[in-house]
Structure 1
Amino acid sequence: MSSIEQRLRTVLQFIDQHLDEDLSVDTLSAVAHLSPFHFHRLFSSRFDISVFQYVQLCRFKSASYRLAYRPQTQVIDVALDHGYDEPESFARAFKRHLGQSPSAFRQSPDWRHWYDFQQPLKNLRNQHMTPTPQEIAKTEIRCIDFGETSIAAFEHRGDPALIGQSIRQFIEWRRGQKLSPQCYATFNILYDHPELVAVKDFRFDIATAIDGRDHLELQQSLVKNIVMKTIPAGRCAVMRHYGSDDNLELSIRRLYEEWLPQSGEELRDFPLFLQRRNFFPEVHEDALETDIFLPIQ
């Protein structure tokens, strides 16, 4: 990685960590140790997007998560936390990008538009914020005995663009049952790769551990698409992924394409699954931690 590329990568990380602060060209060029006269041209040339547009994408991704999944947060606080002094200017910009006012989005998000809106940012991160060889080398993969875990799972079936809607419904149910993520582990079960199956066939579970809770009582509280399941006991290779989900597939591929052939292990008949250690937007995307479990015999 060249010196310029490393400096621009540092800028991307800085933006993630300071969405509520001044992110002007002057500020960001100082982070990159480059003249403002050259910084914005280098940024646009490297990423095919202006630094202003990139900051906007990051801010509205974070803001939309807060609006959709954190109903207790006031719109004015969301605006202030994303660099806007006036809620009116935030509302105008949000509607211009997301097609809905913040209040309308909170009430009934247009999930397909939301999904499409995030793709340019996802593609940029997937291309330019990949782990370095040094970072990959530091990531430990170990084999463990995973204990049987009872879960309540929201079964998302169909269009990946509508996962946000399923997450929101699951969070509402979970909150009502007082299954706090701080007390009950959060899992995803990955049955399919969204790019390798037809939209209608895509399957993805969003789940919470329920060990220690009255299962009969929870069974009576279940709503559409939420079912009781078990992640079975067994050996797993586990790897911790650091950072955004935009690069999660790279870590998964490392398990399948590099570690598995070299390990001599055989796969077990249960899908790949994840455990979420923390959550965006409570933490910055570069501080996210996700454990990837590959079931083996």
Structure 2
Amino acid sequence: MTKTALERYHARMQRVLDYIDQHLDSELGLTTLSGVAAFSKHHFHRQFTATFGLSVHRYVQLARMKRASYRLAFRSSTSIIEVAMDAGYEAPEAFARAFRQRFGQLPSAFRKSPDWEPWLAAFGPLTNARTMLMTTSYCADDVTILDMPATPVAVMEHRGDPTRIGETIRRFIAWRKAVGLSPKLSATYNVFHSDPRTTPPADFHLDLCAATDRAIAPNEQGVEAGLIPAGRCAVLRVIGSSDDLEPAALYLYRDWLPASGEEARDFPLYCQRVSFFPDVPEHEVVTDLFLPLR
């Protein structure tokens, strides 16, 4: 197969993954998905499995379960019954059995206190499948240099194992709700003080931030006032899953920065979470990555 033919083949498979993301509430059988890919329905399931290492049915199940688990953990206003129905289960009991089998917890227990280690392990096949075709290549035209204003923020630190960041996110969401700092009203930022790939888990440090110029009242959650300083930044927009921003960061540091003639400023890499999964389909998530420059 020539490179061009292979690219066309992968593009057809990419359409399938995007369609699944966009239509998790719909019927996603072989007939529908093979039509999206314009492949024979008699061979599509074998082609999909050969390409991604798991069946269409399992991929769809995992994608629905990932959205369901995010809603349970981070969207408390959505009832467990609604989550079950949206995941394709007609009865909450069937959803509870399937959820417990996959994650080792009932949905109600996961909502109260998620066990993140088996959760991460369960989605390994889904993550691997998505990264086969969804790895984005960046170029210099994707990077914009902007003068960013100083941004006062409320900061909750996460220190320790990055696999437990979900616990800190849940606490930060609860604090934001309590003080009325909805993401619709207050921009969301993360400041990356360390790289999880090169930092021992115990030393990992990330700041969760919400833009606000309000005074931060003393609180049990440890939220404090902070500032993202003004200055020039190289900005790279990442569209798609924000679970792993390392490829985008690597492009900025390894490729763009040396070729640009710019120098990095003494402030960490940070990002703005413009839109969030599961509020939008995962392939439509938008994250802006900022590299501070002198």
Q: Same fold per TM (> 0.5)?
A: yes
Aligned partner of 2:149: which letter?
A: G
- Structure 2 unaligned blocks of 5 or more: 1-5
| Distance in 2 (alpha carbons) for counterparts of 1:233 and 1:274 | 14
| Distance in 2 (alpha carbons) for counterparts of 1:173 and 1:59 | 28
Residue aligning to 2:258 = 261
Residue aligning to 1:242 = 239
Counterpart contact for 1:141–1:238, Cα < 8 Å: yes
- Structure 1 unaligned blocks of 5 or more: none
1:92 positional shift:
1.5
The answer to whether 1:195 aligns with 2:197 is yes
Counterpart contact for 2:175–2:221, Cα < 8 Å: no
| Distance in 2 (alpha carbons) for counterparts of 1:51 and 1:68 | 26
Aligned length, in residue pairs: 289
1:83 positional shift:
2.0
Aligned to 2:123, what secondary structure does the other structure show?
A: helix
| Distance in 1 (alpha carbons) for counterparts of 2:101 and 2:286 | 32
CA displacement, residues 26-74 of structure 1 (integer Å, 9 cap, x when unaligned): 2211111112221111111111111111111111111001011111111
Residue aligning to 1:111 = 116
1:151 positional shift:
1.1
The answer to whether 1:285 aligns with 2:282 is yes
1:286 positional shift:
1.1
Aligned to 1:143, what secondary structure does the other structure show?
A: strand
| Distance in 2 (alpha carbons) for counterparts of 1:246 and 1:129 | 12
1:232 positional shift:
1.1
The answer to whether 1:31 aligns with 2:36 is yes
Residue aligning to 2:3 = none
Residue aligning to 1:71 = 76
Counterpart contact for 1:139–1:239, Cα < 8 Å: no
| Distance in 1 (alpha carbons) for counterparts of 2:140 and 2:30 | 33
Map 1:140-219; keep pairs closer than 5 Å.
140-211=142-213, 213=214, 215=215, 218-219=216-217
Residue aligning to 1:294 = 291
**Pair 1:138–1:265, CA change in 2 (3 A):** closer
1:247 positional shift:
5.1
Which of 248, 251, 258 is residue 251 of structure 1 equivalent to?
A: 248
**Pair 1:69–1:148, CA change in 2 (3 A):** same
RMSD of equivalent CA atoms: 1.6
1:9 positional shift:
1.3
Aligned to 2:72, what secondary structure does the other structure show?
A: helix
Taking only the aligned residue pairs, the percentage that are identical comes to: 48
